[in-house]
Each structure stands twice: as C-alpha cells, then as structure tokens.
C-alpha cells in the first residue's frame, strides 16, 4: 500500500491486442474522472511512454468504443522498455504530465515490465489481464479469450460445412501461443474429432489409428484442432497423414489473427468493465503492483511478481470427453 494519493493516472495497452481492451480503457477513464482523477492515454504501450506520446482523456474520448475490437490507444511489443535507459525516458515523460499511477492492460510480459518499472521508479502500477491466450495464473478470465474462442467456433462451424460436403479431413490451427485453452474450448464446442495442445504429448500413431478406424466405417469427415504451440503443428500433421493415408483428402486452415479482432462478446465487455473499475479503485486505495483477476466471480488482487504463465493441467476427463463425444 502507498501513502501517496494518486491524482493522475496513465493507461496503456501493451502486447497483442485483445477484444475488450477498449471496454477496459473506457472503464478506467470514466472511473478515474468520476473520482476527480485526471486520466492520460499512453499511445502504443511502453513505446509511447518512452516517446512521450501521451494525451489527456475526457469522458467523451471513450464514447462509442465498448463494442469495438482492437484498442483505441494502439499497442506494441517494446524491447526498449526492457532496458534501464528506456524506462528512465518513460519515467521522465510521466513526470512531465504529473502521472503518479499506471494501469497496464496486457499479458504476463507487460506485467513483468510494469513490476520492474514500478520498483525502479516508485510508481504504483495495476495490471489488467488482456490476452486471448488465457495463460495468466490467478484469474478465471482474461479480457479477450471469450471473444476469440467464439470467433474460432464460428469459423470452425463453417469449415465443418465444407468438410462435410466433400468428405474431407480438416486440420484447423488456432492461436494461443504456448497455451492450449483456445484449442480445447473451441474444439469441444465444435465437436472436433481430436484436439492437439502443447500441454499434452502428441501421439501421431494414435491419431493415425483413430482415423484409420473411422475410415474403415466410412466416417470420412473429421476435424482436428491444433493449438499453434503444439509440438507437431498443423502443416506437419497434414504431411504425415497424407503420406500414411493417401485415400484421405486433407486440408489445413490456419485461423490466425481473425481470432484477435471483432466486437468483444458480452462476457468480455463485462469483465473488462469490472476490471477497469477495480484498477482505479486499487490505485485510490493505495494498492501497489498487483493485477486484477476474477476468481469465482470475486475480484482478486495478485502481486505482479506472481504473473506467471499459466501451465494448465489437462485432466484425462477432458480428453475422454473429446474421444467419446466425437465417435
């Protein structure tokens, strides 16, 4: 907890954008202004902090954005912020505006930067988990995951239509960096025949065995969801299946960045609004260096030092569900 009253807040988005970041910015700006705090937008994350691209926001600066994907503050991955010189420049720019509290909307890398900065320059920092990957431990939700999964689900449903028309096998690659959450959730929700995730060893022989068995009983339409971080990868898997099962028509679809865009879902707008509000409350209460999480529908404040990548354990039950329901 800090003794000093926060009177001017800077807000920024950092790392990969995620749907709902705008809703979070809106909540920070309006909660700040409601409490008599000046709020400054920092453009392109830490890059804008270093370059001094900072402007004061008003209530109307965030009008008509809750439903928009992307981020009105823009975002960047900034290497310079990981140097002391970079952070010093950033601090000097904050000083010029009198900013004495920061809200950082981003992933674990952005939180690590915030933690170092805060210790070096004694500026309270509050993180909001904004990432489609849902790979941050300590929160049930990250801003953007729900929308990304829904985008993947609607795309995979369309893929299944054409797969069905042609009796084809489709391998669909989804995002998630080294986390399998998008693959697992979208795969189960679309009735995928198999789901490959980085948290589980990929057994190609097992996949071939299952496909051969299905082929034998004329089940030719199959969808395999592959998380981008899986050891095997969609293209490699397609090569192996084509070699081993020449009769099976295989196509690969990489969903890519469409998963990052689009209007945020209702859930993402809600959690972003709640978290944005909570971030300002944290600063008002003098909390230091935590990120806001939601666990069992309650707000939680987790030290930034604990913002580690979530390593999920996938219980055998999940994979059994996939196997049984897709037979």
Residues annotated catalytic, as ranges: 133
Residue 177 found at the interface with ligand F6P (CB under 6 A): yes
How buried is 102 (Cβ within 10 angstroms: 0-12 exposed, 13-18 middle, 19+ buried)? buried
Q: How far apart are CA 270 and CA 144, in angstroms?
A: 11
Distance separating alpha carbons of residues 30 and 21, to the nearest angstrom: 14
Contact between 307 and ligand F6P by CB under 6 A: the answer reads: no
Residue showing tokens 């945020």: 264
Token pair of 178 as six digits: 């080294």
DSSP lists the bridge partners of residue 292 as 301
The length of the chain is 327
Does residue 274 touch ligand F6P according to CB under 6 A?
Answer: no
Lay out the site mask for ligand F6P across 215-234 (x = CB under 6 A, - = otherwise): -------------x------
Interacting residue with ligand F6P among 132, 210, 226, 227 (CB under 6 A): 132
Our finding on whether 133 is near ligand F6P (CB under 6 A) is yes
Name the minimum Å distance from CB 133 to ligand F6P.
5
If one counts every other C-beta atom within 10 angstroms of the C-beta of residue 285, the result is 11
Complex with ligand F6P: residue 44 or 260, whichever CB lies closer: 260
Structural tokens at position 53: 């691209």
Q: Between residues 16 and 124, which has the closer beta carbon with respect to ligand F6P?
A: 16
Closer to ligand F6P by Cβ: residue 121 or 232: 232
Candidate segments 78-86, 91-99, 129-137, 232-240, binder of ligand F6P by CB under 6 A: 129-137
The DSSP-derived string for 207-260 is: HHHHHHHHHHTT---EEEEEETTSSS-HHHHHHHHHHH-TTS-EEEEE-GGGGG
- Minimum distance, C-beta of residue 63 to ligand F6P, in the bound complex (Å): 28
- If one asks whether residue 16 binds ligand F6P (CB under 6 A), the answer comes out as yes
Please report how close the Cβ of residue 117 comes to ligand F6P at its closest, in angstroms: 21
Report how far residue 52's alpha carbon sits from residue 28's, in angstroms, rounded to the nearest whole number: 20
| Least spacing, CB of residue 146 vs ligand F6P, in Å | 14
Q: How many Cβ atoms from other residues are within 10 Å of residue 13's Cβ?
A: 32
Pick from 176, 233, 264, 276: which binds ligand F6P (CB under 6 A)? 176
Token readout for 315 is 């219980």
Minimum CB distance to ligand F6P smaller for 173 or for 193? 173
**Footprint on residues 93-112 left by ligand F6P (CB under 6 A):** 107
Decide: is 175 part of the binding site for ligand F6P (CB under 6 A). Answer: yes
Query: What would the two tokens of residue 307 be?
Result: 């913002």
The Cα 283–Cα 1 span in angstroms is 9
Q: Name the residues that contact ligand F6P, by CB under 6 A.
A: 16, 107, 131-133, 175-177, 228, 260
């Amino acid at each position: 907890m800090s003794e000093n009253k926060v009177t001017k807040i800077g807000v920024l988005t950092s790392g990969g954008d995620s749907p709902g970041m705008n809703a979070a910015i809106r909540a920070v700006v309006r909660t700040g202004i409601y409490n008599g705090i000046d709020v400054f937008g920092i453009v392109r994350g830490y890059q804008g902090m270093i370059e001094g691209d900072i402007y004061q926001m008003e209530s109307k600066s965030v009008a008509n954005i809750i439903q928009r994907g992307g981020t009105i503050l823009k975002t960047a991955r900034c290497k310079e912020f990981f140097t002391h010189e970079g952070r010093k420049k950033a601090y000097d720019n904050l000083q010029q505006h009198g900013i004495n509290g920061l809200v950082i909307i981003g992933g674990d890398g952005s939180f690590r930067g915030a933690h170092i900065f805060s210790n070096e320059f004694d500026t309270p920092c509050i993180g909001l988990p904004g990432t489609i990957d849902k790979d941050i431990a300590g929160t049930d939700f990250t801003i953007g995951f729900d929308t990304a999964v829904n985008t993947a689900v609607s795309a995979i449903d369309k893929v299944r239509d054409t797969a069905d028309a042609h009796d084809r096998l489709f391998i669909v690659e989804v995002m998630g960096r080294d986390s399998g959450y998008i693959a697992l959730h979208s795969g189960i929700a679309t009735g995928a025949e198999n789901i490959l995730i980085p948290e589980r060893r990929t057994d190609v022989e097992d996949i071939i065995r299952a496909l051969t068995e299905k082929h034998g009983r004329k089940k030719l339409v199959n969808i395999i969801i592959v998380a981008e971080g899986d050891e095997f990868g969609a293209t490699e898997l397609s090569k192996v299946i084509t070699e081993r099962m020449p009769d099976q028509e295989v196509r690969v679809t990489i969903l890519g960045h469409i998963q990052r865009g689009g209007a945020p879902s209702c859930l993402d707008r809600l959690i972003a609004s709640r978290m944005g509000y909570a971030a300002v409350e944290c600063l008002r209460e003098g909390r230091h260096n935590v990120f806001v999480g939601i666990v069992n529908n309650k707000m939680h404040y987790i030290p930034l030092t604990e913002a580690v990548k979530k390593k999920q354990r996938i219980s055998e039950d999940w994979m059994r569900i996939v196997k049984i329901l897709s037979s």
